[in-house]
Structure 1
Amino acid sequence: MSAEETAFASPPPAIRGIEFIEFASTRPEELGAVLTRIGFRLIARHCSRQVLLYRQGGMNLIVNSDPATLASAAREGEDHQISAVAFQVDHAGRAYERSMAWGAWPIPTRAGAMELNIPGIHGVGDTVIYLVDHLRPFSIYDIDFIYLDEQRDVEPLVPDLHFFGLVQHIGPERSAQWTDFYAQLFGFRPLPAETHFGILPRGTILGSPCGCFHLQLVEPVGDALYDTEWDEQFARLAFGTPDVLGTVRAMAAQGVPFQDNAFIHTEAHGAITAAMSYDVTFELVRHATPPRESR
Structure 2
Amino acid sequence: MILPHRENIPDLPNRLGIDGIEFVEYATTRPQALGQVLERMGFCPVARHRSREVTLYRQGPMNLVVNAHPEDARVSATVDGQPVISAVALRVRDALQAHQRCIEMGAWPVATHAQAMELHIPAIHGPGASRFYFVDRWQEFSIFDIDFTPIPTVEQHPPALAGMGYFGVVQYIGCDRAPDWIAYFEQMFDFQLLPDDERFGILPKGCLMRSPCGGFLWQLVEPNPALEPPLDAPECLQRLGLGTPDVGTAVAALRARGVEFVESSQLHPEDRGALTRSTLGSVAFELVHRDA
Match of 2:111 in 1: 108
2:51 to 48, 53, 74: 48
1:214 to 213, 217, 240: 217
The 3-state SS of whatever aligns with 2:52 is coil
Deviation at 1:17, TM superposition (A): 1.1
Deviation at 1:70, TM superposition (A): 4.2
Q: Quick one: which amino acid aligns to residue 54 of structure 2?
A: V
Tell me if structure 1 keeps the 8 A contact 2:239–2:286: yes
Tell me if structure 1 keeps the 8 A contact 2:22–2:138: no
Match of 1:286 in 2: 289
Match of 2:70 in 1: 67
Match of 1:153 in 2: 157
Match of 1:181 in 2: 184
Which runs of structure 2 are paired with 1:241-252 in the superposition (5 Å)? 241-252=244-255
Quote the sequence identity (%).
44
Tell me if structure 1 keeps the 8 A contact 2:52–2:69: yes
Tell me if structure 1 keeps the 8 A contact 2:14–2:212: no
Tell me if structure 1 keeps the 8 A contact 2:68–2:75: no
Deviation at 1:94, TM superposition (A): 1.0
Which runs of structure 2 are paired with 1:225-240 in the superposition (5 Å)? 225-226=228-229, 228-240=231-243
Tell me if structure 2 keeps the 8 A contact 1:45–1:51: yes
Distance 2:49 2:66 in 1: 10
- The C-alpha deviation readout for 1:85-106, integer Å capped at 9, x for no partner, is 0000111111111111101100
Deviation at 1:136, TM superposition (A): 5.9
Deviation at 1:15, TM superposition (A): 1.1
Runs (4+) off by over 6 Å: none
Deviation at 1:207, TM superposition (A): 0.4
- Contiguous gaps of at least 5 residues in structure 2: 1-12
- The C-alpha deviation readout for 1:180-235, integer Å capped at 9, x for no partner, is 11111111011011111111110100100111111110011233441543210001
Distance 2:276 2:188 in 1: 32
2:106 is the alignment partner of 1:99: no
Change in 2 beyond 3 A, CA 1:241/1:96: same
Q: Quick one: which amino acid aligns to residue 159 of structure 2?
A: E
2:135 is the alignment partner of 1:132: yes
Q: Quick one: which amino acid aligns to residue 52 of structure 2?
A: R
The 3-state SS of whatever aligns with 1:113 is coil
Tell me if structure 2 keeps the 8 A contact 1:90–1:134: no
Tell me if structure 2 keeps the 8 A contact 1:24–1:70: no
Change in 2 beyond 3 A, CA 1:135/1:225: closer
Change in 2 beyond 3 A, CA 1:24/1:17: same
Match of 1:261 in 2: 264
Q: What is the aligned length?
A: 279
Q: Quick one: which amino acid aligns to residue 107 of structure 1?
A: V
Tell me if structure 1 keeps the 8 A contact 2:27–2:78: no
Give the TM-score, by structure 1 length.
Answer: 0.90
